[in-house]
Structure 1
Amino acid sequence: MTTVVELEIPAARLGFDRTFDRVSTFEFQVGGMIGDSPPLIWASGPDRDAVARALEADPSVDVIASLGDGGESPTGASDGAGTDVGPGDRWLFRTEFGDAAKLFTEIVTDNDGAILTARGRNGRWLVKLLFHDRESVSACHDLLEQYEYRATVTRISGVDDLASAQTPLTETQYETICKAHELGYFDVPRGVTLKELAAELDVSHQALSERLRRSHAALVSAELSERTAPMAIDP
């Protein structure tokens, strides 16, 4: 069964520890950790200069560029604590993570996992992972213990309890993404074509394409806004 796992990991083990020490109100949200491209980070704190100085002084991360402010974030974005994030409240940085974060990503992907969301506050990372099955979860957890990430599992949810998984996807979208991931549709090179995936799911090529676009849009929106309540109606 496809499984969603939520973890808490101390920043001292994964990154941004010095930034949290220098800026107690620092919070961040990662715009994706898959692939070799340096990820984008939405960061917040008392002011942009304080956050930028703390990030630049943090040995666990290399700031490549400062790209924009909260005015460029999605409309109605949330800081994850139920408070709307307005213009100027969040700032966008392109960063290069250190070895600990890169190894974490490798451990997850090598065990057929995917990082759905990654954010942090109060000196801890909050990470949501997707796995094909419980065996992959166990193997990944064993490696995280071996490398002393001090990860605490806060929730494990299967596809049968979609609501508790707090995914922005509908059940149909969720099952489609899981099947696409399982068959290697998102791999490079792809393990299955869109036509083959459509046949596997017994839907038309066009219907599957539209479903995947809606699913991607929902995941991106949730990643950037933290609105992760399940949708009531399946489009």
Structure 2
Amino acid sequence: MEKTGAIHVLGGSLVARMVVHATVAVAPREFLLGRTLAVAGDARIELECAVPLGDRFAPYLTIAADDPKTVCDLVAAEPSVDRVDPLRRGDDEWLVRVRWTGPRSPVLTALRDADAVCVEAVATRGTWHLTLRFDSHEQLTDCYHRCLDRDVRLSVDRVHEGEGLRQSASRALTSAQREALATAFDAGYFAVPREVTLAELADRLGISDTAASQRLRRGLQNLLADTLEADAPDPA
């Protein structure tokens, strides 16, 4: 496996220190949007892009839910949010810009002080799942202890060196897309001949024909993009 790392000079020689990625889970009340995620059900909220944990942390959110407007309104009512501006509205997915305000959360403070970089941050079913990048295992350990010092329960699910996770959060299926694809597959929507119509599938999902079509299309697009990227040959 190809590995990446920072190069440091030690005693006149070059020493490669491996980049460390950690996947952790943390409660929303200790990170972001605690009130929203306590009542948002199956909604999926993603912080857009890999960003340093600086003063302008994660200005963009993707909200995937049966009713994105309701979730967006909940986000706007958070004590830590000053303003929310919807940039793109879909039937089951919105992209919004958030202006954060108020004191920094305990987790954000610990990550900033440890010089961590947030590569992915996705909230589902009341839990934030973060992929963090550190320069070393020592830096990861320091961050973990900083969280403990602030009474933050940080569950470390996975630690690995080298390249980050191949699949980015932006390519992952939303819970709504996964449900639509699974229901369509089980009902025979992809069979030849088709065993259920789009209208019947939409009725099973409890959404409109248009919303069902969009969920299937976006879900298939994400799956195909990830599969084709994974199977693509390395450039010469």
* Band the TM-score falls in, shorter-chain normalisation: 0.5 to 0.7
Whether 1:46 and 2:59 are equivalent positions in the alignment is: no
What corresponds to 2:140 in structure 1? 137
1:225: Cα distance to partner?
Answer: 2.2
Quote the RMSD (CA, aligned, Å): 2.5
Structure 1 unaligned runs (5+)?
71-87, 169-221
Q: How many residues align?
A: 160
* CA deviation string 1:113-150 (max 9, x = no partner): 21111110111110001111110010011101111221
Tell me if the contact between 2:21 and 2:132 (Cα under 8 Å) persists in the aligned partners. yes
Higher relative contact order (CA 8 A, sep 6+): 1
CA–CA distance in structure 1, aligned partners of residues 107 and 158 of structure 2:
19
TM-score with structure 1 setting the length:
0.59
Larger radius of gyration: 2
Matched position secondary structure for 1:148: coil
The letter for the 2-side match of 1:144 is C
Post-superposition shift, 1:223? 4.1
Aligned to 2:40: 23
Q: What is the letter of the counterpart of residue 61 of structure 1?
A: V
Q: Deviations over 1:150-177 (max 9, x none)?
A: 1100001112xx5xx5334xxxxxxxxx
Distance 1:10 1:143 in 2: 16
* Counterparts of 1:142 and 1:18, CA distance in 2: 26
| Superposed structure 1 runs of 4+ greater than 6 Å apart | 227-230
SS in 2 for 1:99: coil
The CA distance in 1 between the partners of 2:234 and 2:150, in whole Å, is 41
Which consecutive unaligned segments of at least 5 residues does structure 2 have? 1-17, 173-221
Q: 1:158 to 1:18 in 2, by over 3 A?
A: same
Aligned residues of 1:13 and 1:100 also touching (Cα < 8 A) = no
- Residues 64-213 of structure 1: matches in 2 within 5 Å? 64-70=84-90, 88-97=91-100, 98-101=102-105, 104-159=107-162, 166-168=165-167
Which one-letter code corresponds to 2:103 in the other structure?
Answer: D
Report % sequence identity: 21
CA distance in 2, matches of 1:225, 1:63: 27
Relative to structure 1, the CA distance from residue 94 to residue 158 in structure 2 (aligned partners, 3 Å threshold; closer, same or farther) is: same
Partner of 2:20: 3
Do the aligned partners of 2:116 and 2:134 also contact (CA within 8 Å) in 1?
A: yes
SS at match of 1:28: strand
2:208 aligned residue:
none
